[in-house]
Structure 1
């Protein structure tokens, strides 16, 4: 603790740490590459090389380079409306301003559940004009 910190503490002055200085500078917002075709919203750490995700991306006719993953904290920094299709992994997050949204359980549950995979496919197929969906 520095001398300045001790003096401020003795005077009863609380010091605050800025966690996101970009917001104060007016840089609020998350930017996506122009090539982004799918935003995955999840708080879990995803391995985009998992076989199930590769198969899903292949059926949507996109590559993992076309996918951006964000967590619930970053979600609040995305300007609305969100025109890029979003896939919410897990039911805890409810984004607003999303035009096209798919919802599924977390990846570990999705891998084990045939009915969850079918439900996800039905959602994706509903918006097949946004993807050139194909059978694999």
Structure 2
């Protein structure tokens, strides 16, 4: 005998059951007219030890690759923060950091662009391309060397 993943016919789904329970308890449910208004409401701040921001909407696929990048830059994994493009728009910077855009640079407000423009930046291909393309890796390593030169000049 095998069990089916489908719900029994006539049985309410989980959201329906939750709505039914709330109704039985006398709790009125509300639906937001503009749920997007609550997205991005809070700002993001960084710890003082952060030296590198990686901006990517797709999480990295290989931690060994990132470990090599950290080693090349002379930083620890704890000194790096991975943010999405949406999170970058909410970021409040209090110290200079290096920025690594994986994929494309995002469209940001003029004030955000002015803030970020003064910081060292690189833009590379997406994670999958970086891992599969020797040319993309070579370009990344060349840009990382420039990062180190900028850091040494300070």
**Which is helix-richer, 1 or 2?**
2
Both proteins in one fold, TM over 0.5: yes
> Quick one: structure 1 residues 94 and 102, their matched pair in 2 at CA, closer, same or farther if it must change by over 3 Å?
farther
Q: TM-score, normalised by structure 1?
A: 0.71
Q: Equivalents in 2 of 1:5, 1:118: separation in Å? A: 55
**Which residue in 2 is equivalent to 1:31?**
45
Unaligned runs of 5+ in 2: 1-18
Q: Please identify the structure whose Cα radius of gyration is greater.
A: 2
Q: 2:38 aligns with which of 12, 19, 33?
A: 19
How many residues are matched? 120
Aligned CA distance change for structure 1 residues 32 and 5 (closer, same or farther; 3 Å): closer
Query: Relative to structure 2, which stretch is displaced further, 85-94 or 56-65?
Result: 85-94
Once the 2 structures are TM-superposed, how far is the Cα of residue 106 of structure 1 from its aligned partner? Answer: 1.1
Q: Please, which runs of 5 or more residues in structure 1 have no aligned partner?
A: 7-13
1:41 aligns with 2:61: no
Task: State the distance in 2 between where 1:19 and 1:113 align.
Answer: 40
Which residue is 1:59 aligned to?
72
**Could you say what the CA RMSD is over the residues aligned between the two structures, in angstroms?**
3.0
Shift of 1:117: 1.2
CA distance in 2, matches of 1:35, 1:125: 21
Higher relative contact order (CA 8 A, sep 6+): 1
**Residue 136 of structure 2 is aligned to residue 116 of structure 1:** yes
Residues of 2 paired with 1:82 and 1:108: CA distance? 31
Partner residue of 1:106?
A: 126
